[in-house]
Amino acid sequence: MKVLNRGFIIVSPKPIFISEALNNSGNDLLSPDNPEPSIYLIEEDFWDDETVLKKYFKRILSGEIKQLDTENESSLSKIKFDNIHEYFNISMGSLVFDLEERPVERFTDD
Contact 52, 42 (CB under 8 A): yes
CA distances from 39 to 13, 23, 75, 91 (A): 12, 25, 24, 10
Kindly give the pairing relationship between strand 7-13 and strand 2-4: unpaired
- pLDDT, tens digit, 9 for 90 and up, residues 9-68: 999 999 888 888 777 565 555 555 667 899 999 999 888 999 999 999 999 999 998 887
- Residue 28 pLDDT: 57
Interval 63-82 mean pLDDT = 78
Interval 81-107 mean pLDDT = 93
Strand partners, 89: 12
Task: Give domain limits for the chain.
Answer: 2-98
pTM for this entry: 0.83
- Residue 11 pLDDT: 97
